[in-house]
Structure 1
Amino acid sequence: MPTPRLLQEEVTTSDAITLVLEQAGIDMVFGISGGHTGHVFTALSKRQNSIRTVLVREESLAGVMAEVYGRLTGRPGVILGQGPWVLGNGLIGTIEALLSSSPMLLLTDLSDTPEFSTHAPYQSGTGEYGNWDARRSYGGVTKAVYPALQPAGAVQATQLAIKHALAGQRGPVAVLYSIAALAGRVGPDSVPRLYETQPYIPGPLPPEQPDRIQAAAQALAAARRPVLVAGNGVRIGQAFGPLQALAEAAGLPVVTTPSGKGAIAETHPLALGVFGTFGTPAANACVAEADLVLIVGSKMTASDTARENPALLNPERQVLIQIDVEPRNLSWTFPVDHPLLGEAGVVLSQLRDACPGGSRLEEGPARVEAHRAAHGFFDHPASRASGSPVMPQRIIAELQRALPPDGMVTCDAGENRIFMTHFFQTRQAGSFLQAAGAGPMGFAIPAALAVKLIHPERAVVAVCGDGGFAMTMNGLMTALENDLPIVVLVFNNHALGWSKHSRGPFATEFHDFDHAAMAAAMGCHGIRVRDAEELAPALTEAFACRKPVVVDVHTSLEVAFSDLVTPLAR
């Protein structure tokens, strides 16, 4: 069927750009107006029924919110704002999107004044002498960069950016608009010709070849101690259901990478939690004894593999099957016997259909239960510790009890994230989100805002340290302005815990600030917890509140991230 033209009449370039976003199914944009992008914000004001524009107080919030939108919806998240500051302030979301394969668009400007581009104009990113080079700068942190210098090219660049953000391994793509483009007009006779957006959006990869599926299924059936490793690609591909279905049909114990935590509910009888450097002993033991490892949507980083310790993963003694959408990721960290290219959900379903059923339906849960009994499983004694300051394990245990069954958790970087990865047990697939690709501090609060926008009916809690809280506490203003009643749980140990436990007190300690009082001063609700026994009522109160809440917990430094490092990585 012929592809219709994008426009039937002449409109501003910015109106056409926002039409492209609408046609791509993008229903939220995050940013702060500045430079020439004000033209796009004006166009967005005409599409308030289809695209929600979320004004933030600083670009780092918009960057993280766009990354999380992309990770959870599968549609590119959009950060919109002025070139230097989308790059500089918005960088934490951009790098996280690049390393976590989240589809994202950076719609920004060159801040140019074309008539004077060779005369060192203010803020210009066109790259001549005296200017900064936006194309080279964005090129180092994105999949692709599209300078858009004239009106029709700007519209087409936006469509191509959507395409490349979604093609293969997802990621961030930047469009750098010139004022000559944004101030112009486009229409049905513009050159290059402009067509509707749908054909630019890549569909799913085709199913893997039947002979490759059959060979992998036969290897899986022949294995005596197989295990499935789930990575963040399961979340990106929305493959939670197919993963659980294959695991149940084939009796496969399931472990996850840190970024894949929550790919399966950790209460499931086949789940063993996170494996690798900061993994649970039960998960690591199961992987170490495996004779076949099925890896789904993971790049297998050094942290995932305990620095590639052969006692954990070893292609000389284990058959490896790997599923990925990006051919360059197959046989990247380890040589793989059965590389399977395709969408995680599609290939997992193909494997399930090809696997003979019934052979390990009881054996898999029995293996998992044996590892749980031998090594412990989310039942650390300190989860019942009393007194003050409060042990991190007790904070996490109380959060576990207070969080509604469908509640969602976002984690910051730092020591608190390691504690959550290790001690928090997920109860629903897809309910746990962390910045495990790049690991920036300041992630949890804006991530929680994005989650609440996408899932307004669900309770959302951001878990952070006092260091990470200070970086993006201005997100509470955005929460108030957009009626997003998130809960922020602060592990307040008056320190950069990871750094202090790594190298001592110098330049790692903070004053004891009252973050609950700061929240109250903004118009949020604040609760300060000094003793373990105050936690349960504080969290009950927080989840019942109809506005943003900060629960500031006086947290012990007694336990360190290094205590949780597996002996395999030491």
Structure 2
Amino acid sequence: MSTPADTVHLTTAQALVRFLAAQHTERDGERHRLFAGVWGIFGHGNVAGLGQALLQAATTGEADLPYHLARNEQAMVHAAVGYARARDRLSAFACTASTGPGSTNMVTGAALATTNRIPVLLLPSDMFATRAPDPVLQQLEDARAGDATVNDTLRPVSKYWDRITRPEQLVPAALAAARVLTDPAETGAVTLCLPQDVQAEAHDWPVEFFRERVWHVGRPLPEPDALARAAEVVRGARRPLLVAGGGVVYSRATRELRAFAEATGIPVADTHAGKGALPWDHPQAVGGLGSTGARSANTLAREADAVIGVGTRYSDFTTASHTLFAHPGVRFVNVNVARTDAAKLSAVQVVADAREALTALRGALDGWRADPAHEHRSTGLARDWAAEVDRAHRAGGSGGLAAQSAVIGALNDVLDDRDVVVNAAGSMPGDLQKLWRARDPKAYHVEYAYSCMGYEVAAGLGVRMAAPDREVFVLVGDGSYLMMAQEIATMVAEAVKVVVVLVQNHGFASIGALSESVGSQRFGTGYRYRDPATGFLDGDPLPVDLAANAASLGARVIRVQDPADLRKALQEARDADTTTLVHVETDPHAPGPPSSAWWDVPVSEVSELDTTRSARREYERQRREQRHHL
């Protein structure tokens, strides 16, 4: 078949592969590939379309788009998110899955990406556009709508969603997808649904569609009047506090943050995503903020009459469910590339890049400095908190078991400043925010916007692929490990070395403690046999051997029997050249530093249980502190 000279005859899948391989990003003169490759699991929906296209590209060299085989569709999205976050959202992965369950398995990963504002391209296979063999295997038959498919579940968790029912629709859809993925304010999961017949259908594509294209990631400047309003708020403050969020890290504004803090003397607290933006031992650093934050930062937050949020979305953990910022006249200045986040808490809005805004605000405050008494107080609170962290790092558990805080302390001792700790869910994010000492903005990778159990192992794989010059340590509890550990096999297959530190506490330690605090007596939170006497799952621990499971997936395993051997085991794992799992039993009841802020988890208003009634009274007392900042 002949085609015009300015077109090329390809299938839709072949055209998409060529397009993705030709996309780049650029910021500050630094260029990156937008798509580092494709994660995928093939089935009947994509093996003859995208599978064939990726094979052809690799065989002929017509497009450079490496393929990586995952073991779980949700996990491959997590790996893609870990990669993109480690690359400051300037490079990402595409993920392809087959029709039906393979595609819907990606929904959780998509929600995580969008909640965290991390770019990932999802390419779920879809039903036949022609509907010739309707219904096909794994098709959702909706009597109300002939065009509804299971991939519609990805609509609410995607920043952009489209279904390509004709080949020529790919051109505008692919360009729109790249636009959203490279927009710092609008990025997240992007979904292009690909009917399996359309993937294999040929079309004459304009050659210009495949030209090398650079998406410039700009640095929006603060509007002068907004900057003046922000400076006025800060100049009028006696006890200001700056909250550094993930936007500081993604903007690579850590140098500007340090300069701002040193010039103004304003103490700096951080969120999970912002930890390490200012080294933990910097004179202006006061620790993590919020429900799982440091007492030093939370004390200053309660007293603050002005709060400067830079690159934070102010989740309920950061605001302690709107109880933390207690000063009656507190005012907020929010610096963010997304107006949605800049407008929160009735703030003075500075819609701008974090690096540019910090530089401009420092200039606008030239000659002004925080009250020396406020500086002295913040430094003293940080020093007191550091001593408390030292004690927690040395804490012991009962029965000869390690305390989780001591595991964190051992990790902090063994890892160097550039090594990365990865975590997401359970009690460990809270303990890490209190206890982890980060000096590097990429050394702390905790996903706490979606707090997704199962993220850790897969994300560790993505982080190490993004940063092969850094050692990556995945810190994971047995609950999260059981949900999604398959990508250990992928690490082995790809020769990507990651250290997994498996904290075995035989259940959900975090939810167990929360259950107890709301009067539910740790019900249903332990991995136990069912006790015939009580009828509950409160018998002896299950004989689950997760270390053996890791070994079966190809990992090298080190079992720590004595907590005194933990540092040696961690160092051995760090020095190894293969994926290694360190298995350590811990005491789930060993206390860490107590919380210094609240989190709103509603307690039953009526109950026959004394424990629940007592918890409700405490809940009502705490809830009285909530406020809208108007």
AA at the equivalent of 1:100: N
Q: Shift of the alpha carbon at 1:553? A: 0.8
Query: What RMSD over aligned residues (CA atoms) do the two structures have, in Å?
Result: 2.8
Matches within 5 A, 1:413-492: 413-492=425-504
CA distance 1:106–1:364, shift in 2 (3 Å): farther
Q: Shift of the alpha carbon at 1:440? A: 0.9
Q: Shift of the alpha carbon at 1:210? A: 2.0
Alignment check: 8 A CA contact 1:28 1:77 kept: yes
Structure 1 residues 409-418 or 437-446, which shifts more? 409-418
CA distance 1:390–1:287, shift in 2 (3 Å): same
Alignment check: 8 A CA contact 2:180 2:186 kept: no
AA at the equivalent of 2:54: L
Partner Cα distance (1:136, 1:13) in 2: 21
Alignment check: 8 A CA contact 2:295 2:596 kept: no
Partner Cα distance (1:402, 1:293) in 2: 35
Q: Shift of the alpha carbon at 1:146? A: 0.6
Partner Cα distance (2:121, 2:5) in 1: 20
Q: Shift of the alpha carbon at 1:205? A: 5.3
Counterpart check, 1:198 vs 2:201? no
* TM-score (norm: length of structure 1): 0.90
Matches within 5 A, 1:170-185: 170-185=187-202
Counterpart check, 1:280 vs 2:294? yes
Alignment-derived partner of residue 325 in structure 2: 312
Q: Shift of the alpha carbon at 1:552? A: 0.9
Q: Shift of the alpha carbon at 1:63? A: 1.1
Alignment check: 8 A CA contact 1:235 1:263 kept: yes
Q: Shift of the alpha carbon at 1:524? A: 1.6
CA distance 1:539–1:138, shift in 2 (3 Å): same
String of CA shifts for 1:445-469, please: whole Å, max 9, x gaps.
1111001001111110001100111
- Structure number with bigger Rg: 2
CA distance 1:451–1:313, shift in 2 (3 Å): farther
Correspondence for 1:355 among 365, 383, 386: 365
Matched residue of 1:379: which SS?
Answer: helix
Matched residue of 1:263: which SS?
Answer: coil
Alignment check: 8 A CA contact 1:30 1:53 kept: yes
Alignment-derived partner of residue 316 in structure 2: 302
String of CA shifts for 1:120-149, please: whole Å, max 9, x gaps.
222236866688524531112112211101
Alignment check: 8 A CA contact 1:296 1:322 kept: yes
AA at the equivalent of 1:12: T
CA distance 1:188–1:498, shift in 2 (3 Å): closer
Counterpart check, 1:158 vs 2:189? no
Correspondence for 2:561 among 530, 548, 557: 530
Q: In structure 1, list runs of 5 or more residues that go unmatched.
A: none
Structure 1 residues 72-81 or 379-388, which shifts more? 379-388
Q: In structure 2, list runs of 5 or more residues that go unmatched.
A: 24-32, 528-541, 601-621, 623-630
AA at the equivalent of 1:116: A
CA distance 1:157–1:568, shift in 2 (3 Å): closer
Correspondence for 2:165 among 149, 168, 174: 149
Alignment-derived partner of residue 616 in structure 2: none
Matched residue of 2:39: which SS?
Answer: strand
Alignment check: 8 A CA contact 2:235 2:368 kept: no
Counterpart check, 1:383 vs 2:393? yes
Alignment check: 8 A CA contact 1:497 1:557 kept: yes
Alignment check: 8 A CA contact 1:302 1:308 kept: yes
* TM-score (norm: length of structure 2): 0.82
Matches within 5 A, 1:73-472: 73=87, 74=89, 75-112=91-128, 114-116=130-132, 119-124=134-139, 133-134=149-150, 136-167=152-183, 168-189=185-206, 194=209, 196=211, 198=213, 201=215, 203-204=217-218, 206-309=220-323, 312-313=325-326, 316-332=328-344, 334-336=345-347, 338-356=348-366, 359-360=369-370, 366-376=376-386, 379-386=389-396, 388-472=400-484
Partner Cα distance (1:341, 1:126) in 2: 45
Partner Cα distance (1:186, 1:220) in 2: 59
Partner Cα distance (2:129, 2:166) in 1: 14
Q: Shift of the alpha carbon at 1:294? A: 0.6
**Number of positions where the alignment pairs a residue of Structure 1 with one of Structure 2:** 558
Alignment-derived partner of residue 36 in structure 1: 45
Partner Cα distance (1:358, 1:330) in 2: 24
Partner Cα distance (2:160, 2:192) in 1: 9
Alignment-derived partner of residue 519 in structure 1: 550
AA at the equivalent of 1:148: I
CA distance 1:159–1:361, shift in 2 (3 Å): farther
AA at the equivalent of 2:546: H
Matched residue of 1:116: which SS?
Answer: coil
Identity within the alignment, %: 24
